[in-house]
Amino acid sequence: MTDDRTPQGKGSDVHGIFEKIAGYYDRMNVVMTLGRHGKWCREVAERVAPPADGRLLDLATGTGVIALEAARRYPSAEVTGADFSEEMLRRARNKPGAEKVRWQHADAADLPFEDASFDGITEGYLLRNVSDLEGVLREQYRVLKPGGRVVILETCPPSGPAKPVVQWGVRTIVPLLGQVVARDRSSYSYLESSTLAFESPQHIARILKGIGFQAIGWRKKFFGTNVILWANKPR
């Protein structure tokens, strides 16, 4: 599916970056997380825990890592992988098992789904790339069924005594890896800056609570630079 809606994010520049990095996105995720990215995606899929024959939506699906894991883990579920990057979706469609997922071009700020359409929503690295964080989460609340769960994989700014060291590492290593592995320092300089400038899990949790979500929790990963959050829509 294609449409003419403006992609989610902070302008067309963000859309252009994700179109550009699609070819080496998976490789960079593995390198930047020292191989942990796949494990986190599996945890996201495990935590969403839909009912039998449920419907799952994976937002910012990218090359489909979470969506494909969900389809493997829940073979009776209907899994939809949605993204604003056509090139990311093209690569997702060519992966083994892709026929088990419905792939859809969509804007996370204006989802093309009816109210209460899904039993669960997953997402990876969406929120730091949107201009209206609360609005995007409200859209997820709208399309989630009562009793459904959202599970979010996201970056978060480092904190605690190790904060200066971790900040230095992110500022230095991420763009360097972009240059060495992908020969694209500028795109990964953006990803580095968006990581350090993004909100804390506590802030996201407050937004989720204000929207109406309950049973909110999170677990930090990888020196506090990544986090998995979860929340339920009340029945």
143-202: pLDDT as tens digits? 999 999 999 999 888 777 767 777 777 777 776 766 776 666 666 666 666 766 688 999
* pLDDT over 60 at 119, yes or no: yes
The reply, when asked if residue 108 is annotated as ligand binding, is: yes
Which has the higher per-residue pLDDT, 71 or 181?
A: 71
Q: What is the pLDDT of residue 134?
A: 97
Q: What is the pLDDT of residue 30?
A: 87
Domain architecture of the chain: domains with CATH: 12-162+198-232 (3.40.50.150)
Indicate the SS3 state at residue 136. Answer: helix
Between the alpha carbon of residue 60 and those of residues 20, 183, 196, 217, the distances in Å are 15, 24, 20, 21
* pLDDT over 70 at 140, yes or no: yes
The reply, when asked if residue 182 is annotated as ligand binding, is: no
Where is average pLDDT lowest: 24-38, 89-103, 173-187?
173-187
- The pTM (predicted TM-score) of the whole model is 0.88
Mean pLDDT computed over 122-139: 95
Question: Residues 197-235: pLDDT tens digits?
Answer: 688 999 999 999 999 999 999 999 988 889 999 999 999
* pLDDT over 70 at 86, yes or no: yes
Please work out, in degrees rounded to the nearest 5, the angle formed at the alpha carbon of residue 90 by the alpha carbons of 89 and 91: 90
Q: What is the pLDDT of residue 9?
A: 41
Indicate the SS3 state at residue 107. Answer: coil
Contact 59, 108 (CB under 8 A): yes
Where is average pLDDT lowest: 92-101, 125-134, 195-204?
195-204
Return the closest-CA partner of residue 45 out of 21, 71, 63, 22: 71
CB half-sphere exposure, 35, CA atoms < 13 A: 0
The reply, when asked if residue 58 is annotated as ligand binding, is: no
Which has the higher per-residue pLDDT, 28 or 74?
A: 74
Average pLDDT, the chain: 88
* pLDDT over 60 at 1, yes or no: no
Q: What is the pLDDT of residue 3?
A: 34
